[in-house]
Amino acid sequence: MQITVELKPKSLTALTIELTADEFSKFITKAVNHLAEEIKIPGFRPGKAPRDVVEKKVSSKALLEEAAELAVQDSFPKAVIEKDIKSLGAPKIFIEKLAEGNPFIYKAEVAVLPEISIGDIKSIKLEKKPAEVKTEKVEETLKGLQKMHATETRTNRPAKTGDRVDVDFNVYLDNVPLDGGKGQNYPLTIGEKVFIPGFEDQVIGMKENEVKEFKLTFPKDYVKKDLQGKQADFKVTLKAVYDVALPALDNEFAKKLGKFESMEDLRAKIQENLHQEAKMKEEQKFEQAMLEAVLTKCKIGEMPEILVEAETDKMLHELEHAIGDDGGKFEDYLSNIKKNRDDLKKEFLPKAETRVKVALVLRTLAEKEKLFATDQEVENEISAESLRYTNQPEILKRLQSEDYKDYLKMVLANKKVIDWVSKQISSS
């Protein structure tokens, strides 16, 4: 294997890697065996079909591409080690020559650790705020539990505050149906004010099957910018009215919720849980402030653009995933805020750069202070996580993958570094 190294701007290194025809032929054989396991070939057990039979099922191009992927997976890590390159993240691969019976040549562009100098961390002064839980928060949680255990009884009387109602509604803007402005049997609790101001007031007094039309103006700070301050026509049909009876907040209520003897016990448990949540939030805030303070003590060379770009992509994916988890569509979100993916990536850029800088500094400190995760620590973490997924073989398989183990090593090492930095600050 021949390796040529080219140093490029922005903390990039390009490696041109050449495998001889003989070296590459081994990966063609591996590709045949791999593809033979993936496809069903009558008369042969998985992975046992000869090459000529496999090639009748897959194209020679597909075979060569599979061989190239296997060759890169094997040769790139070896090349990085041989040339003592401190690579970061996944490389960008460019195939330069791929033909059977010939050398296999490809170029790999990879981000490398820029020059980082770390100043006097002990001079950082930060104060960790104690976690606080106000009584109002406990009562708010209790009211939430009370609502969860309410009983509903359908009634023929007019709707009033506190009722749960089902409504059909249509919204029109300039006599044109508003996109997304339609609902059927939509559940609404009058008084919770989840609709725009004035909507619930119009529903109060309506009876079952009553139809009502009215006008409302969207607030100037409405989430959809194109509707801010605009007047719309609403047509609402009240489908059902339910009288909501809330249970009394007494000892019997507490006993029904679990191992509580009294409301005092329940309140104490809620207080404890809220305190743990508040403590965790304060620790996260402190950790974030601490890492940002550490960055001010560091001098970092040219930032690897390839890593910043990857981080903005990751942030975009995180946002898309979060919107999907809430039942929304990312394209609708983009339409509402009148932006595209590239616009968001530009907005994410400063935060992405900070994230990458933090990751680079943590890695540098880990190497400097020898704060690494041991194989045993990684295995212990995997064993603990596996207990949560005993009936999910796909997840269990992923937990045992080398990629996941590498990820865990990084996470555990980062935790050690953060703990170490925290001690340096607290001891100063």
Which among 260, 201, 261 has a CA at the least distance from the CA of 236?
201
Q: Pick the most confident of 52-61, 156-165, 324-333.
A: 156-165
pLDDT at 326: 84
Domain final position from 245, 280, 314: 245
CA dist., res. 235 & res. 214, Å (int): 7
Residue 367 backbone phi and psi in degrees, to 5: -70, -40
CATH of the domain at 17: 3.30.70.1050
pLDDT at 5: 96
Tell me the H-state helices in 297-401.
Answer: 305-325, 330-337, 341-369, 375-386, 393-399
Q: Same domain for 384 and 309?
A: yes
pLDDT at 20: 97
CA dist., res. 72 & res. 70, Å (int): 5
pLDDT at 267: 94
Q: Same domain for 158 and 102?
A: no
CATH of the domain at 227: 3.10.50.40
Domain final position from 192, 217, 245: 245
- The average confidence (pLDDT) of the chain is 91
Q: Stretch 394-421: mean pLDDT, rounded?
A: 92
Q: pLDDT-based confidence at 258, cuts 50/70/90? A: confident
Q: Same domain for 80 and 8?
A: yes
Is residue 128 a part of any domain in this protein? no
pLDDT at 41: 63
Q: Same domain for 175 and 228?
A: yes
CA dist., res. 212 & res. 169, Å (int): 10
**Domains contained in the chain, number:** 3
pLDDT at 408: 93
Percent of the chain scoring above 90 in pLDDT: 72
Q: Stretch 122-148: mean pLDDT, rounded?
A: 91
Is residue 129 a part of any domain in this protein? no
Domain final position from 197, 214, 245: 245
pLDDT at 48: 56
Number of H helices and E strands in the chain, helices first, is 13, 11
Which run of H or of E encompasses 2?
Answer: strand 2-8
CA dist., res. 426 & res. 406, Å (int): 30
Percent of the chain scoring above 70 in pLDDT: 94
Q: Stretch 22-26: mean pLDDT, rounded?
A: 95
Q: Same domain for 212 and 343?
A: no
What DSSP string describes 413-427? HHHHHHHHHHHHHHT
User: Is residue 42 pLDDT above 70, yes or no?
Assistant: no
Which among 162, 163, 148 has a CA at the least distance from the CA of 238?
163
CA dist., res. 359 & res. 116, Å (int): 12
Q: Same domain for 323 and 387?
A: yes
Is residue 158 a part of any domain in this protein? yes
Is residue 138 a part of any domain in this protein? no
CATH of the domain at 362: 1.10.3120
User: Is residue 234 pLDDT above 90, yes or no?
Assistant: yes
Is residue 136 a part of any domain in this protein? no
Q: Same domain for 287 and 267?
A: yes
pLDDT at 52: 62
Residues 6+ away with beta carbon under 8 Å from 65:
98
How many other C-beta atoms are found inside a 10 Å radius of the C-beta of residue 270? 19
With a threshold of 0.95, does the pTM exceed it?
A: no
CA dist., res. 408 & res. 373, Å (int): 8
Tell me the CA end-to-end span of the chain in Å, nearest whole number: 52
User: Is residue 55 pLDDT above 90, yes or no?
Assistant: no
Q: Stretch 212-219: mean pLDDT, rounded?
A: 96
Q: pLDDT-based confidence at 402, cuts 50/70/90? A: confident
Q: Stretch 337-342: mean pLDDT, rounded?
A: 89
Q: Pick the most confident of 35-49, 52-66, 247-261.
A: 247-261
Is residue 135 a part of any domain in this protein? no
CA dist., res. 141 & res. 162, Å (int): 18
pLDDT at 362: 93
Q: pLDDT-based confidence at 225, cuts 50/70/90? A: confident
Q: Same domain for 235 and 264?
A: no
pLDDT at 136: 93
Q: What is the pLDDT of residues 270-325, one digit of tens each?
A: 999 999 999 999 999 999 999 999 999 999 998 888 889 999 999 999 999 999 88
Q: Same domain for 59 and 84?
A: yes
Determine how β-strand 176-189 pairs with β-strand 211-217. unpaired
Is residue 130 a part of any domain in this protein? no
189: containing domain:
151-245
pLDDT at 336: 78
pLDDT at 54: 65
User: Is residue 169 pLDDT above 60, yes or no?
Assistant: yes
Higher-scoring residue by pLDDT: 201, 47: 201
User: Is residue 393 pLDDT above 60, yes or no?
Assistant: yes
Which among 208, 205, 212 has a CA at the least distance from the CA of 185?
208
pLDDT at 290: 94
CA dist., res. 106 & res. 206, Å (int): 72
Q: Same domain for 284 and 392?
A: yes
Q: Same domain for 239 and 259?
A: no
User: Is residue 90 pLDDT above 90, yes or no?
Assistant: no
Is residue 118 a part of any domain in this protein? no
Q: Which two tokens stand for residue 22?
A: 């003989």
Residue 185 backbone phi and psi in degrees, to 5: 50, 40
User: Is residue 156 pLDDT above 90, yes or no?
Assistant: yes
Q: Same domain for 99 and 236?
A: no
Q: pLDDT-based confidence at 39, cuts 50/70/90? A: low
pLDDT at 345: 94
Determine how β-strand 116-118 pairs with β-strand 176-189. unpaired
Whether the CB-CB separation of 151 and 245 falls below 8 Å is answered with yes
